[in-house]
Structure 1
Amino acid sequence: MTASEPTILATSGGHRAGARSRVVFDALVHHAVDLSGVHGRRPRIMYVGTAIGDAEHFTARMAEAARVAGFDLTPLHLFPMPNVEDVEGSVLDHDVVWVMGGSVVNLLAVWRAHGLDRVMRRAWQEGVVLSGVSAGSICWFQGGATDSFGPELRPVTDSLGFLPYGNGVHYDSDEGRRPLIHQLVADGAFPAAHCTDDGVGLVYRGTELVEAVAETAGKGAYIVTSDGAEVTEERVEPRLLNPSRH
């Protein structure tokens, strides 16, 4: 079971603290599963933690979150080597790819070294829902604002480019991101930028933005454009998802 057309859910959310576990999947992860159309069996989620160096403690937290949610989760590790023999086949065998946040610059370098950029494009074209948070959002776009190089935000403009826009994450919680995104659009680095407050996700069918969704009330999404003289930011009101099932 795969989505009926190439689908991406790019987010600034998806996790929260659990009552009995350190992390549970919030409504955005559940929505990624819904977008895949899977039914009649346990959803298969591939968790990719490249951006945090495949940190084993967080892989364990994701596995526990998946158990609580009723999902089957497979981690894809690239450190110190791929943990599966057939990386492409393993990715294509899943309903959803969920990419963890961290360093998008490091993620891109390691993915390209292993050819995972090409694997992800094929998975996207074949209907595996691509999703993730922060670095796991920016990677699908042309780029965005990143702290990969240090506390001072810098541009990254060579992301995978499946979506032909810039991407601003944590738009309401990191005050440096909005002005840098505006500057990048003004300078023509991106034709437009699509941005999310914490707890918000953007749904794309093909390369078209079709909906903003949120797991937290009162948060927004934003489209930043420029006419060559002035930068304009338009707020998009997300649809509030049903609360997480756990």
Structure 2
Amino acid sequence: MTASEPTIVATSGGLRVGERTSVMFDALAHHAVDLSGVHGRRPRVMYVGTAIGDAEHFTARITEAARIAGFELTPLHLFPMPNVEDIEETVLAQDVVWVMGGSVANLLAVWRVHRLDHILRRAWQAGVVLSGVSAGSICWFEGGTTDSFGPELRPVTNALGFLPYGNGVHYDVDEGRRPLIHRLVADGTLPTAHCTDDGVGLVYRGTELVEAVTEAPGKGAYLVRREGDRAVEDRVEPRRLPSVPR
């Protein structure tokens, strides 16, 4: 079972601290699984931790989170070599791909070496739901803002481009991101940008934004568009998702 059409859930959330575990999948990740349409068996979820160098300690935490959530988890490691024989076959067998945050610049470079960018496009077109947090959100767009290059935020403009927009993550907690997104949209470095507060996700069918959703109260999504030589921001009120028990 796969989604009925190409689906992306781009988020600034989806994970939280558990009561008995270091991390657990929150409502945004569960929503991505729901959108895959799987039923009658455990959802197959691929965890991609390239942006944090395939850190083994975090893969272990995500594996435990998947056990609690009832997901059948497959980690995809690219360091020091792919941990599966056939990357494309393994990716296409999933219901959801969940991409962890970290360095989006490094993620993009490593993915392209292994042609994972092409594989993920085929998976998206085949109905595998693509999702993730932070770098795992920006990667699906034309680009966004990142601290991949150092403490000062800079633009990244060579992301996968499945979605023809810019992307702003952690919009309410990192004070430098909103003004930089506005500047990049105003000067044409980025196209119209779709942005999320922490705890908010954006759902796309094909390349159309169909809904904003949230796992946290009081949060928002934002559309930042160019108007003349300035950027104009419009708030989108997200729908609150059901809470995931701890």
Amino acid at match of 2:106: N
Question: 1-side partners of 2:172 and 2:209: how far apart?
Answer: 20
User: 1:183 Cα shift?
Assistant: 0.7
Partner of 1:81 in structure 2? Answer: 81
**Does the residue aligned with 1:33 lie in a helix, a strand or coil?**
helix
Partner of 2:202 in structure 1? Answer: 202
**Does the residue aligned with 2:118 lie in a helix, a strand or coil?**
helix
Partner of 2:55 in structure 1? Answer: 55
Amino acid at match of 1:98: W
Question: 2-side partners of 1:29 and 1:195: how far apart?
Answer: 18
Question: 1-side partners of 2:227 and 2:75: how far apart?
Answer: 43
Kept after mapping to 1: 8 A contact 2:200/2:212? yes
Partner of 2:133 in structure 1? Answer: 133
User: 1:231 Cα shift?
Assistant: 1.3
**Does the residue aligned with 1:10 lie in a helix, a strand or coil?**
strand
Kept after mapping to 2: 8 A contact 1:27/1:245? no
Partner of 1:225 in structure 2? Answer: 225
Amino acid at match of 2:150: G
Q: What's the CA shift string for 1:170-214, capped at 9, x where partnerless?
A: 000000000110011011122200000000000000000000000
Partner of 1:151 in structure 2? Answer: 151
Question: 2-side partners of 1:130 and 1:103: how far apart?
Answer: 18
Question: 1-side partners of 2:245 and 2:31: how far apart?
Answer: 11
Q: What's the CA shift string for 1:39-66, capped at 9, x where partnerless?
A: 0000000000000000000000100000
Q: What's the CA shift string for 1:98-145, capped at 9, x where partnerless?
A: 000000000000000000000000000000000000000000000000
Partner of 1:118 in structure 2? Answer: 118
Partner of 2:172 in structure 1? Answer: 172
Q: Please, which runs of 5 or more residues in structure 1 have no aligned partner?
A: none
Question: 2-side partners of 1:84 and 1:240: how far apart?
Answer: 37
Question: 2-side partners of 1:231 and 1:108: how far apart?
Answer: 27
Q: What's the CA shift string for 1:149-168, capped at 9, x where partnerless?
A: 11100000000000000000
Kept after mapping to 2: 8 A contact 1:23/1:61? yes
Q: What's the CA shift string for 1:55-78, capped at 9, x where partnerless?
A: 000000100000000110000000
- Alignment length, in residue pairs? 246
**Does the residue aligned with 2:137 lie in a helix, a strand or coil?**
helix
Kept after mapping to 1: 8 A contact 2:187/2:229? no
Partner of 1:14 in structure 2? Answer: 14
Kept after mapping to 2: 8 A contact 1:43/1:72? yes
Partner of 1:64 in structure 2? Answer: 64
Question: How does the TM-score come out when normalised to structure 1?
Answer: 0.99
Partner of 1:90 in structure 2? Answer: 90
Question: 1-side partners of 2:148 and 2:156: how far apart?
Answer: 9
Backbone CA RMSD of aligned residues: 0.6
Question: How does the TM-score come out when normalised to structure 2?
Answer: 0.99
Q: Please, which runs of 5 or more residues in structure 2 have no aligned partner?
A: none
Question: 2-side partners of 1:141 and 1:181: how far apart?
Answer: 14
Kept after mapping to 2: 8 A contact 1:7/1:128? yes
Question: 2-side partners of 1:238 and 1:244: how far apart?
Answer: 17
